[in-house]
Structure 1
Amino acid sequence: MPDDAALPPLNGLRAFSAAGRHLNFRAAADDLGVTQGAVAQQVRGLEDHLGLRLFLRHPRGLSFTEEGRTYHAAVSRAFAQLAEATDALRRAPARATISVTPTFASKWLIPRLADLTRAHPGIDLRLTATERVASFHSDGIDLAVRQARPPFGASLRADLLFTQDVIAVCSPALVANQDLPLDALAFSRMTLLHDTHDLWPKFFQSAFGQSVDAPRSLRFNQTTLSLDAALAGQGIALASRFLVARDLAEGRLVQPVRCSLEGGLDFYLLAPRHIGSGAAAQVRDWLLGLARDEAGEAG
C-alpha cells in the first residue's frame, strides 16, 4: 500500500486534471474558481514533486508530454472513482442497528415497525435479535434493549423503557368455563408455561400468599415461546404487561387473576454516551417517545 506522505498534493492533482481536460490554464481556472496564476503554480508544483514535465507550454495553450498524457488518464479515472463513491455514499440511506432480545423483537418492536417507517422513511433499520450481551464497538451496534438494573457504566446512556410488571395471561378459551379470577386451587389444575425467568413461585406468593403445586407444565427457553403457547390455548404464561398489552386489549389474551409482580429487571434502552449517527439518535427518540406514550395510556 503506498505511503500517503509520498502522494502528490491534492490541489496540484485537481489543477492538473482540469488543465488536462482543457489544455488551457485559463479554462481550468474557470472550472476550479481560482486564478489562472494559481492553476499554473499548482501544476508547476506537481511537476516539481514528480520530477518531470507533464505539459509543454505554448503561447496559445498546452499540450501533453508523453508522461503527462498517461498520468492524466490515470488521475482522471481516480477522480471519477472518488466522485462515484461520494455520490453513492450520499444516496445511501441513513442506517441504524439495534440489538434486542427475541421476545422484545417479536412481541413489541416488530408489530410497531410500520410506525417507525412512516415517521422516518429514510432510515435503514437493522434489527439483531439475540439474548447475548452485544458490544457496541465490535458488533457494530448503535442501540440495544436489555433487561437490567442500574447502575450502568459511565460510557453508556441508559433510558428506562418499561418496568418489568409481570402478569399472568392465557387464551380466553382456556378459562371459558371457569369463574374468574382463578383461585389457588383452580391454578393447581392448569398447565403452567415456564420461561427462563421462572417467576411462578414469586407470583403465587404475591397472588395467593402460598405456593401452588401445579402438576402439569411446559418449559421454554424464551418468553416469546411461552406467550405463543398461551395464545394457542396450551396453558397460562407470565409476561411483562407491556409485551401483551395489545393482545389483552384486542381479546386474544385475558388475565386469569388480577395480580402483578415487580420482576426486578426492567427494560432499558442502551446506547454509547456519544451516539455516532443521526439515524440512531432518531430511532432512540422514537423508541423513547413511543414507550412514554404507551406507559401513559396504561396509566
Structure 2
Amino acid sequence: MRRRLPSTTALVAFEAAARHQSFTLAAEELALTQSAVCRQIAALEATLGVKLFRRTRRGVALTPAGAGYARRVAARLAALEADALDVAAGDGGERRVIELAVVPTFATRWLLPRLPDLARAAPQLQLNLHVRTRPFLFDGSGLDAAIHAGDGHWAGCRCVPLIGERLVPVCSPAVVPRGQRLSVEALGRLPLLQQTTRPDAWRRWFAQAGVEVDGDLRGPRYELFSMSIEAAVQGLGVALVPDIFVADELASGRLVQPVPAAFDSDRRYELVVPDGAASPALETFERWLLATAR
C-alpha cells in the first residue's frame, strides 16, 4: 500500500517557518523565495487537511495543531539527519552509536575530559551528546540513555548510581577579606549565588551547619552550575556547587573555599536507561562509566 507521506521539502519549509514564526525568515534560511515557502506550506496543509498557521497583524502564528505538529516534525527531521550522517560516515555498520542526554556541566567538567580513555578502551563506540537539564520522556526522543542528577527515580527507567553530589561553597579570593576563613554566619552575609535546579540548597546547607540566615534564598539565579562557577570566579558572590566541578579552580587559586563545611545533597549523578533497552554499545558504555566513576 502506498504511504501517505508529505514531501520532505514541504516538511523542511514548515519546520523552518514554525521555528522562525515567519515565512520570510524561513525563505532566507532555505535560500528560497517567500512565495515558494508559502506554496510548500499550503501544499502541506492541503495534504493534511489541517490549518497549520493563522494570519496575524505581525505576520503568521502557529495554530494549536500546527504547534504540536511542528514539535514532532522537528524531532523526525533531526533523526533523519542523524541517520544520514551515520550512513555517510561509511563505517560499514561497525561503529556503535549511543545518543546520550547529559546535564551540561557534568558533560564539560567530568565526562568530556575522560572520553579519550573511552576512545582507547572502545574505539568502535561513538557517543553523541545532547543537553537535557531536566527529566524527559524517552519515547520519541531518539535518545538511548541519560546522565542526570537525580534521586534514583525516573518513571519507566532503571537508574545506575555513579557519583554522589557533595556541594561546597566557593568564591573568588577577592570576596574573602584578606583571604581569611569565614564563620558560617559571616558567609551568610555575603552575596549568595542561587541555583535554579537546587532552589533550597543554601537553606539546607545552613541548616546542616545549625545556622539560620535571613535571605538565604535571595540572590541571582543560574540554571547551570557552569554559570554559577564562572559568576563566582568573577567575584559576583559565593556559589554552592559540586566539588567535582571546581577541583581545577581550587587548585589554581581562581576560587577558594571560605568555609570548609560541605553538604551531601540528596541527589547523585546516575546513568538512566529506559526499561528493556539493551545493546552491546550500551553495555560497553555502562561498564566503562561505572569503572571510571569508581
Q: TM-score range by the shorter chain?
A: 0.5 to 0.7
- Give the number of aligned pairs: 207
The answer (yes or no) to whether the contact 2:173–2:179 under 8 Å persists in 1 is no
| 3-state SS of paired residue (1:264) | strand
The answer to whether structure 1 residue 167 and structure 2 residue 168 are counterparts is: yes
CA distance in structure 2 between the partners assigned to 1:271 and 1:215 by the alignment? 34
- Tell me, in whole angstroms, the C-alpha distance in 1 between the residues paired with 2:278 and 2:159: 16
The offset of 1:179, in angstroms, is 1.4
The correspondence of residues 104-115 of structure 1 with structure 2, limited to 5 A, is 104-115=106-117
Candidates 221, 225, 228, aligned match of 2:227: 225
**Residue equivalent to 2:143:** 141
User: 5+ residue gaps in structure 2?
Assistant: 3-86
Check conservation: 1:181, 1:258, Cα contact below 8 A. no
Please give the TM-score of this superposition, normalised by the length of structure 1. 0.60
Could you tell which deviates more after superposition, 228-237 or 268-277? Answer: 268-277
* Equivalences for residues 151-162 of structure 1 within 5 A: 151=153, 153=155, 156-162=157-163
Asked if 1 retains the 8 angstrom alpha-carbon contact of 2:101 and 2:132, the reply is yes
Deviation at 1:215, TM superposition (A): 11
Query: Whole-Å Cα distance in 2 between the matches of residues 132 and 152 of structure 1?
Result: 11
Which 4+ stretches in 1 moved above 4 angstroms?
A: 212-216
Q: Which runs of 5+ in 1 are unaligned?
A: 3-84, 293-299
Encode CA deviations 1:170-203: one digit per residue, 9 max, x unaligned: 2334326131144413540x22111111211221
Deviation at residue 91 of structure 1 after TM alignment: 4.7
Post-superposition Cα deviations, 1:75-100, rounded to whole Å, max 9, x if no partner, equal xxxxxxxxxx9x95635521111111
Q: CA deviation at 1:259?
A: 1.2
Alignment of 1:1-299 (within 5 A): 88=90, 90-151=92-153, 153=155, 156-175=157-176, 177-188=178-189, 190-196=190-196, 197-198=198-199, 199-213=201-215, 217-292=219-294
Q: TM-score by structure 2 length?
A: 0.61
Distance in structure 2 (CA, Å) of the matches to 1:186 and 1:243: 21
Cα distance in 2 for partners of 1:94, 1:281 equals 11
- Matches of 2:171 and 2:179, distance apart in 1: 12
Q: Distance in 1 between matches of 2:283 and 2:119?
A: 15
Q: 1:217 to 1:157 in 2, by over 3 A?
A: closer
The 1:89/1:120 distance shift into structure 2, 3 A limit, reads: closer
2: CA distance, partners of 1:218 / 1:260: 21
Q: Percent identity?
A: 32
| CA offset digits 1:28-84 (Å, max 9, x no partner) | xxxxxxxxxxxxxxxxxxxxxxxxxxxxxxxxxxxxxxxxxxxxxxxxxxxxxxxxx
- Report the CA distance shift for 1:168/1:288 in structure 2 as closer, same or farther (over 3 A): same
Question: In structure 2, how many angstroms separate the alpha carbons of the residues matched to 1:186 and 1:272?
Answer: 42
Matches of 2:273 and 2:127 in 1, distance apart? 15
Contact 1:145 1:270 in 2 (8 A): yes
In 2, Cα distance between equivalents of 1:127 and 1:118: 18
Q: If you compute each CA radius of gyration, which structure gives the higher value, 1 or 2?
A: 1
Amino acid at match of 1:237: A
- Give the SS at the match of 2:92: helix
